[in-house]
Structure formats: structure tokens, C-alpha cells
Amino acid sequence: MQKRKLGKSNLEVSALGLGCMGMSFSYGPPKDKKEMISLLHAAVERGITFFDTAEVYGPYVNEELVGEALFPFRGKVVIATKFGWKIDPKAERGLAGLDSRPEHIKEVAEASLKRLRVDVIDLYYQHRVDPEVPIEDVAGAVKDLIQQGKVKHFGMSEAAAKTIRRAHAVQPVTAVQSEYSLWYRNPEKEVLPTLEELGIGFVPYSPLGKGFLTGKINENTSFDSTDFRNQLPRFNRENRKANQALVDLLGKIAQRKKATPAQIALAWLLAQKPWIVPIPGTTKLNRLEENVGAVSIELTPDDRREIESAASKVTVQGARYPEHIEQMSNR
């Protein structure tokens, strides 16, 4: 597995990470714990050293799973987790609004350390920007945690370019995590140029469009009642039908490269910048191996031009999130 550095920081990780959310949260019922522990071990065996979780996934159980599974590899893997929510198990999906007050950040960091079974959090992201708390105060709180040896690196998620600049001036930001793929390219406008200028790494989540770009989902696919894709406008039946054109395009290139659509989608992201590290999630070993295979696929400049040109003719239909969730992004 190739390695990459997240921006100017000395945080070196595998070129592809593993998003762990779906093991416990969002994509249907939680998966079997033993099976997920063996999948996490399989990821380490295949060279993945970068794992992504959050206190709110579950809530809490995903951090516990990752902490237990990766305990034998302490010091050899990088675990990223996130803060910034008020968690109430009675609320929908456990989320009861945002909370990035400095005292709250310091309190939840202690709890995450215990659940992850580590002495220091490798990368600590603010999960969403809290409009009630100045970003300078948030960065200052993480700076304190870094000085106390409880956190190594500060990250932000779904933040706007100007907010990233303000935070970075207080405590250098190592990585920004936001959705980015061939079917959601918003970060290209302002975020990616800002990260390049400041020397910050980028971690695309949902690099396979929440499964859509794999080619395994079509207009007739039905999801479990607990799967949050049921609530996403982009996943309603008409939009899935309209968006199939993008998957067909990946399929054509994949055939020529003797690869899968998912591998081409990941190879495209990896080819964008050397400081981009996608974190596709999966709960299946064959998908994990397929994703890892994307790292060795070379897209030539011609391949990339062809993808760009064909993708520019496809207008993706449907908002990626309901409005109240979308409002929490890019601020």
C-alpha cells in the first residue's frame, strides 16, 4: 500500500483509509461486531493504516468497536475521530444539535480517548462548524489538547474556505474532511485551492457516492428502513434513474482498464492531488479488497481528460442532503 502525507504535516497514512461509520450506523442495522473486528484486522493486513470514526456513530459504539479492533496495532495505525455534537440517545440518530463549546470539546475528548483505548487522538475533527461558537475558540480548545498531549492533529469537516483560514491561524489544520467524488464536486470551487495554499490535507468521505458509484445500486434498489439513504433527495427513484449516466460512464472506462466502476471512481480521486486520501467505507471483505485495488490503477492524462469531458455532460440530479442537514455544511 502506498503512503501519503496529509498536507505539510508529518501525518503519513495509507493512500486509502477506511471509513468505519457504516459498521454501526446509518446504512441499515449495525453489523455483527465479531465480523467487523475481523474486517478491521483484514484492512490492517492489507496495508490500511488510516481509520475514521466519530463519537456520534452509534452513538459511541463505533468508537468502541474501532478501539477494541485496533488495540493490538496501537502506534502502527492512525485513528481519526470527531467532536461537535450534543448527543441524546432519545433524539433522531442520537443527534440533538451542535456543541463546540471549548469545555464540551475537552470533556468529550476524554471520553473518546477511553473508548478508542488510546493515550492520544491522532486526528481530531470538528464534525460540523458550530455557528454559536467562534472558530478561533474551537481551534484554541484543540490547541490546548495538543499541548496537553491528548491530541496530535486538528481537523475540520465540511467547513468553508474562510472558516478554515481563521481556524488555521490559531492552530494549524492538518486535514479537512468533506464529501467529494465524481458526483459531488463542490470542494473544487474554494476548499481545495485553499487547502493547497495552506498545505492542508484533504480526506474525501463518501468517495463512492454512498455506494451509488459502485454500479451496484439502480432505480429498483430498495434500502432497509433504517438506512439513511431513504431520506436523501439524490437517492429517490427518479434521481437514481437520471444519475445512472455517471455510473455508465465509469463502467465504460472500467471495462477498458480491467477494473470496476468503484476502482475508477477512487483512482480518479487519488489522481487529483497527492495530498488527497479517500476513506471509502465498507462492511464486506470483497469490497475492501476491491477498494484497495484502486490504489494501483494508473489513470493517464488522457483517461482523466476523458472522464472530465464525459462527466461534464452529466448533470447530477437531486440534492445530496435534506436542506436542514445541507445548511450545516460549508460554513
Q: So which residues are the catalytic ones?
A: 57
CA terminus-to-terminus distance, the chain: 35
> Which amino acid, 177?
Q
Within 10 angstroms of residue 23's Cβ, the number of other Cβ atoms is: 29
**For the chain, how many residues are written?**
331
CA distances from 87 to 90, 98, 169 (A): 9, 9, 29
